[in-house]
């Protein structure tokens, strides 16, 4: 009675000496249900927690001090060094990220972030359907990037569509509306504060390991950089570039080049 699926659990923050694992399988132990009964409350992590000790999976991120493991390594073990002494609040019975055959709606698909999310969802994660919003003039760009469903936000409210999505990625700050566009059990991930629960706010964490994972897709051209058509701006015109940035209507990334 005390267990339920909670879609609002954030991805654990990674310390320098830790790795983040994408769980392939998790095994249960008696300690898992005994924790739920409060048998170890004097030494347990604060509730609520995600249960699960035993894990087998793949490393998806490594801390700066980690030398033994790299992204892509298959690993197994117990995520808690001491089973009863302050076990981790986020156990192995948790899910994260977009899985193949899931559908996704990208709000702001033609922006600097959105153009990459559309491509990653389609060409890397293998989403079953990629929908994206943009103004009329930018819809063809979304089609070229791989979007299956083009939504002109000047003519249609995406939340009124009969079709709902497994994931909505909000790059424009509309997560209250986005929550109306997800399937039961679906998720809203937003990069714009304030997030409205159960939407999950994601803060960029740029690390070498992440860039290494993206490198083959970027260098092969599978994921293409999209630049604002007026880019690049010379350094002397940086103020003008900021003016375009503040409109929140720029397509792709605004680039300053050359630098003095």
Does the CA dihedral 212-191-202-50 come out positive or negative? Answer: negative
User: What proportion of the chain, given as a percentage, has pLDDT over 90?
Assistant: 42
**Angle (nearest 5°) at CA 246 between 245 and 247:** 90
pLDDT, residue 40, reads: 78
Lowest mean pLDDT among 56-65, 107-116, 163-172, 216-225: 56-65
258 and 235 Cβ atoms separated by less than 8 Å: yes
- Among 20-24, 58-62, 96-100, the minimum mean pLDDT is found in 96-100
Pairing of strands 165-170, 182-190: parallel
Structure tokens at 12: 């654990």
- What's 73's DSSP letter? -
Q: Over the chain, what is the mean pLDDT? A: 87
Helix (H, G, I), strand (E, B) or coil at 159: helix
In the structure, what pLDDT confidence band is assigned to residue 8 with cuts at 50, 70 and 90?
Answer: low
Specify the pLDDT at position 100.
72
Taking only the tens place, the pLDDT of each residue in 118-143 is 999 999 888 999 999 999 999 999 99
Q: At 188, list the tokens.
A: 């809203």
CB 126, CB 100: distance < 8 Å: yes
Residue 181 has pLDDT above 90, yes or no: yes
Sign of the alpha-carbon dihedral angle for 184, 190, 192, 196: positive
Residue 75 contacts residue 59 (beta carbons within 8 Å):
yes
What is the per-residue pLDDT for 86?
Answer: 67
Residue 244's pLDDT band (cuts 50, 70, 90): confident
Query: Where are the extended beta strands (E) located within 85-128?
Result: 103-107
Structure tokens at 176: 């209250």
pLDDT digit string, tens, across residues 90-116: 777 776 677 777 999 999 999 999 999
């Amino acid at each position: 009675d005390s267990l339920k699926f909670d879609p609002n659990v954030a991805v654990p923050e990674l310390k320098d000496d830790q790795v983040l694992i994408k769980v392939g399988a998790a095994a249960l132990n008696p300690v898992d249900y005994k924790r739920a009964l409060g048998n170890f409350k004097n030494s347990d992590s604060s509730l609520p927690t995600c249960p699960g000790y035993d894990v087998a999976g793949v490393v998806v991120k490594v801390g700066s001090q980690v030398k033994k493991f790299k992204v892509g390594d298959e690993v197994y073990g117990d995520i808690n060094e001491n089973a009863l002494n302050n076990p981790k609040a986020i156990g192995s019975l948790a899910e994260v990220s977009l899985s193949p055959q899931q559908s996704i709606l990208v709000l702001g698909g033609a922006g600097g972030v959105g153009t990459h999310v559309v491509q990653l969802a389609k060409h890397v994660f293998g989403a079953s359907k990629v929908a994206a919003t943009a103004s009329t003039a930018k819809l063809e760009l979304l089609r070229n990037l791989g979007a299956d469903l083009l939504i002109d936000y000047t003519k249609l409210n995406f939340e009124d569509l009969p079709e709902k999505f497994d994931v909505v990625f909000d790059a424009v700050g509309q997560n209250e509306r986005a929550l109306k566009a997800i399937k039961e059990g679906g998720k809203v991930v937003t990069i714009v504060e304030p997030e409205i629960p159960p939407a999950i706010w994601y803060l960029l964490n740029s690390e070498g390991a992440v860039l290494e994972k993206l490198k083959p897709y970027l260098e092969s051209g599978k994921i293409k950089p999209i630049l604002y058509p007026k880019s690049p701006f010379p350094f002397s015109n940086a103020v003008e570039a900021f003016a375009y940035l503040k409109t929140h209507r720029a397509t792709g990334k605004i680039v300053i080049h050359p630098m003095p």
